[in-house]
Amino acid sequence: MDSTENVILSGKKITKRFGGLTALSEVDFDVRRGEIVGLIGPNGSGKTTLFNVISGIYDPENGDLFFGNRKITSMSPHKRACLGIGRTFQIVRPLAGLNLIENVATGVLYGREKKTGAREARERALEILSFTGLSDRASKLPGELILEDRKRLEIARALALHPELLLLDEVFAGLNKTEIGAAIDLTFRIREEYGTTIFMIEHVMKAIMSTCSRIIVLNFGIKLTEGSPDEVANHPEVISAYLGGAYAKC
């Protein structure tokens, strides 16, 4: 087990309710610096809710959240982003009226690097766009992009903050085989170049198995298990959660 200094993000007994529905129930988790951690679970298991709690869009009813040594449980989203938590959205949400450079430059201007000059911010934005393979479309509007490129823009927007921790919410969904290969490659490159820790929600098994060193499984808002990809894939309760009890026995 790594020492606690290496933990970049940890949640203690996170509980989030929507009216009578408990979306997250006492979820404990840790993400260590430099890891690529997967978050999986059937539809409605609370994955995106957990990301919303981490990025500050939702306040949890109970539990605490730490980023490094700092308690961030009730910190506003923009402060968390400033500290270095970047995120993408499952359904892509670019800043629609702004072109790609402006989209990314916004994050550069307000994020961890705090560039104040417009020209500097544009240059940095262009670097990030070329890193994510979008430099030739830099002055287009997000609406003119195909899905794969919009997903890349989501990542570029998050990288603009120069995040220490990047939350990727299903960036592989809807991509074809070649595109998934490229996205897996991009995921590794982000960790290498930016030194960013990655926490990702994913359904595409190929992507999970080849990128994550550890996987956390949620089901009905409860943490079912966690472990290496192989351990998780063969865990009876995981199989049961995804496919129903009958398959779990073998």
Partner 1 sequence: MNKYYPAALAILIILLAAFPAIGPEVYYLSFMFSVFMYVILASSWNFIGGYAGYLSFGHAAFFGIGAFATAKMATVFQLPPLLTMLASIPAGGIAALIALIVGYPCLKIRGPYFSVVTLCFAFVVDLAVKNIEYLGGAEGLWMKFMDLPEKTARTIMYEAMLLLMVITLAASWFLGRSRFGTGLTAIRSDEEVAETMAVPTAMLKIKAFVLSAFFPGVAGGLFAYYLGYIHADAVFSINISILIVLMAMFGGGGTWLGPIIGAVILTVVNEGLSTFAQAEIARIIYGGLFIVVTIFMPNGIIDFFRKRGG
Only one of the segments 153-161, 210-218, 221-229, 231-239 lies at the binding site for partner 1 (rule: CB under 8 A); that segment is: 153-161
- b (16+ CB within 10 A) / e for 134-162: beebbeebbeebeebbbbbbbbbbbbbbb
* Among candidate residues 40, 61, 62, 80, the one with its CA nearest the CA of residue 165: 80
Q: What is the rounded CA–CA span in Å between residue 228 and residue 26?
A: 22
Among 56, 60, 63, 229, binds partner 1 (CB under 8 A): 56
Does residue number 95 form part of the binding site for partner 1 (CB under 8 A)? yes
CA distances from 202 to 23, 60, 146, 156, 188 (A): 18, 23, 20, 18, 15
Among 26, 102, 127, 237, binds partner 1 (CB under 8 A): 102
Q: What is the rounded CA–CA span in Å between residue 249 and residue 237?
A: 10
Does residue number 106 form part of the binding site for partner 1 (CB under 8 A)? yes
Does residue number 18 form part of the binding site for partner 1 (CB under 8 A)? no
Does residue number 49 form part of the binding site for partner 1 (CB under 8 A)? no
Which string of x and - marks every residue 71-90 that binds partner 1 (by CB under 8 A)? -----xxxx-xx---xx-x-
Does residue number 246 form part of the binding site for partner 1 (CB under 8 A)? no
- The site for partner 1 (CB under 8 A) is made up of 55-57, 76-79, 81-82, 86-87, 89, 93-98, 102, 105-107, 109-112, 116, 118, 121, 157, 160-161
